Amino acid sequence: MTDMSWLKTTPIAHRGYHDMNKAVWENTLSAFKRAVDKGFAIECDLQYAADSVPVVFHDDDTQRLCGLAGDVRARTAGELSLLTIGGTRDKVPTLRQTLQLVAGRVPLVIELKGRKGDDEGFAAAVAEVLEEYAGPVALMSFDAWLLADLKALDVPYPLGLTADGARPEDFERHEKAMALGLDFTSYFYGHLPNPFVDGVKARDLPVITWTVRDEAALTHSYAEADQITFEGFDPSERLEHSK
């Protein structure tokens, strides 16, 4: 099995180490550089641009982050690269630009944001960009069909299910996804503990949580999971203070 021990060792900065979109915005090269400088792992989101290029962006629409309405998938990567994020100097980066910046210095946990019926080639495009990258990478998604596509490509990275939910039907759906042969889960901390995650831990697979924003969530996450995905504070300071 691919080594996944690094998933447990370093707090993961949610969409990079931003400052809650005050001066350093989420999923930007500035947020990623800030995470690298602090030694945090980085979680980032991928969308699929109109020219089949994976770009780092969370929302389906560009309004919240760029102040301009429109479907992110209706624009090419070049067109997206002209849009400023939050009025800063940062633009929408591609996955390739992100990899060039991080350069293996910290781990990357990359979430693919799927859109059923509009994802043909998405997994393959991500795999192609990652092909010559030497740093630690994990891939994850809420979307089982994208995880199945990645699994079919036999990508050499840990694959994880991003998930939430506290109902039996949620757990049943998640178990079907894990049956693909996934390697970890990233679960909403507020829905822990639960039988599904207990089963993941029983198989000795890593469990990380999202999104931790305060000390109570941090404490709860470390009681129930292996590592946190955080934003809005420096968890190393909180952990040091609690010793």
Q: What is the pLDDT of residue 194?
A: 98
Q: What is the pLDDT of residue 239?
A: 62
Distance (Å, whole) CA 8 – CA 6: 5
Q: What is the pLDDT of residue 238?
A: 74
Distance (Å, whole) CA 226 – CA 29: 27
Q: What is the pLDDT of residue 240?
A: 57
Neighbours of 226 (CB within 10 A): 18
In the predicted model, residues of the chain with pLDDT beneath 70 are 1, 239-243
Instruction: Give alpha helix (H) positions in the chain.
Output: 6-9, 29-38, 63-66, 77-80, 95-102, 122-130, 144-152, 168-178, 195-202, 215-224, 235-242
Per DSSP, the three-state class of 83 is coil
Q: What is the pLDDT of residue 243?
A: 43
Contact assessment for residue 94 and residue 55, using Cβ atoms and an 8 Å cutoff:
yes
How is 131-167 classified by DSSP, letter by letter?
Answer: TT--S-EEEEES-HHHHHHHHHTT-SS-EEEEE---S
In this prediction the pTM is: 0.97
Neighbours of 84 (CB within 10 A): 16
Structure tokens of 187?
Answer: 């679960």
Query: Which domains can be identified in the chain, with CATH numbers?
Result: 6-242 (3.20.20.190)
- Looking at residue 207, its amino acid is V
